[in-house]
Amino acid sequence: SRVLALTGGVGGAKLCLGLAHCLAGEQLCIVANTADDFEHLGLNICPDLDTVMYTLAGLSDREKGWGLAGESWNCLSALEAAGGETWFLLGDKDIATHLVRTGMMNAGRSLSEATAKLCKQLGLNVSLLPMSDDPVRTMVQTAGGELPFQEYFVRERCAPEVSGFRFDGLEKARPQPEFLRTVEDSALRAIIICPSNPFVSVEPIISLPGIREGMASSQAPVIAVSPIVAGMAIKGPAAKMMQELSMPSSALAVAEYYGNLLDGFVIDERDWAQAEAIERLGISVLVVPTIMNSLQGRIELAEQVLEFSHSLM
Ligand code: FO1
Ligand code: CA
């Protein structure tokens, strides 16, 4: 019996690491968002897959949460001197990942095959899957027009006011086959929505054809961990986006957004006062410390989420 975790980048990756410590490799299936992937300088770049992969391998940069620790930036400096685009920071070691993936995909292999190869090279034994092998691209709608996600996020530093999102390619994209099989697996133990951005990390994954339906009809409990604590996002623009979309930036608003997809919702102890209102939505609530600053914190939260899911079976 397996656990399925749906995740974006930095915040979600921390919980995935905790889950990987609590479960045997074959018991955990991690599915990462690929809607913030993009093609840049001829490379296929998959920020969320790489963030999860580097985090699980213990190689991620602690401070930034993305990229590799101990990185050097010689290529970026040379790129600048050569008049190339340098707004997206690519470290020398990270570039090797993009070269292997791009090479495989240009030779006709799928993103799943490239991801499996990269994970194997790092000695990972959990299954980390892209949500789809078909390209899906988040377009951020702003007053000044639509921006591809990385241009909004990195180049414009999330400054433009957001009015909505469009996931280019989503209707035609098929969920990754093992992902779909896992959602439909009658022996599935839990579906965990990691503390990632609900609008740009989780929404594309659960909107893939068949996934929302599969989650709703699964006998496995669906549990989300709130990415909003005390009105703020732990990382990234989730709280800013909620304000711009005229939603309160609260754990309750995240629970309302996911709605009846959820059986359980995990909120931080600082938000204990919202538990009652969330339970009135018909969603069970677990109140615990959710800030994962250490490996121990990540493992403890993962243990508590798994125990909670068991109680909801
Ligand atoms: N995030 C940034 O804020 N600035 C960057 O220059 C940047 C480069 C980068 C390179 C490789 C990679 O895997 C991730 C990178 N990220 C960078 C993070 C990335 O933009 C993610 O999409 C966000 O963390 C949101 O999930
Ligand atoms: Ca259910």
Q: What is the pLDDT of residues 295-312, one digit of tens each?
A: 999 999 999 999 999 999
Residues in a beta bridge with 129 = 31
Q: 311 C-alpha vs ligand 2 centroid, how far in Å?
A: 13
Ramachandran category for residue 81: left, alpha or beta (phi over 0 → left; psi -120 to 50 → alpha): alpha
Model pLDDT, residue 300:
97
Q: Is 83 left (phi over 0), alpha (psi -120 to 50) or beta?
A: left
Q: If you average pLDDT over residues 123-152, what whole number do you get? A: 97
State whether the Cα torsion 132-94-106-114 is positive or negative: negative
* Ligand 1 mutation pick, 38, 55, 138, 153, max ligand atoms within 8 A of CB: 153
Q: What is the ipTM of this complex?
A: 0.95
Q: Is 48 in the pocket of ligand 1 (CB under 6 A)?
A: yes
Q: Cα–Cα distances in Å, from 18 out to 146, 201, 290, 301, 304?
A: 36, 19, 12, 7, 10
Dihedral sign computed on CA atoms, order 151, 158, 138, 215: positive
Residues 6+ apart with CB under 8 A from 139: 146, 147, 148, 149, 165, 166, 167, 168
CA gap 1, 45 in Å, rounded: 32
Nearest of 248, 249, 246, 288 to residue 267 by alpha carbon: 288
Q: Is the pLDDT of residue 115 over 80?
A: yes
Confidence at residue 292, expressed as pLDDT on a 0 to 100 scale: 85
Residue nearest to atom 13 of ligand 1 (CA): 47
pLDDT at 248 over 90: yes
- The confidence band for 12, taking pLDDT boundaries of 50, 70 and 90, is very high
The CA 264 to ligand 1 mean position distance, Å, reads 30
Alpha-carbon distances of 196 from 42, 138, 165, 278, rounded to whole Å: 28, 15, 16, 19
For residue 190, the ligand closest to its alpha carbon is: 2
Q: Is the CB of 97 under 6 A from ligand 1?
A: no
- Summarize pLDDT for 250-262 with one digit per residue, the tens: 999 999 999 999 9
pTM of the model: 0.97
Question: What pLDDT sits at residue 1?
Answer: 75
Q: pLDDT exceeding 90 applies to what percent of the chain?
A: 98
Report CA(12)–ligand 2 centroid distance (Å).
21
Q: How do residues 258-301 score in pLDDT, each as one tens digit?
A: 999 999 999 999 999 999 999 999 999 999 999 989 999 999 99
237 lines ligand 1 (CB under 6 A): no
Best residue among 89, 95, 137, 194 to mutate for probing ligand 1's pocket (most ligand atoms within 8 Å of CB) is 89
How, if at all, do strands 137-142 and 162-168 pair?
A: antiparallel
Mean pLDDT of 224-245: 95
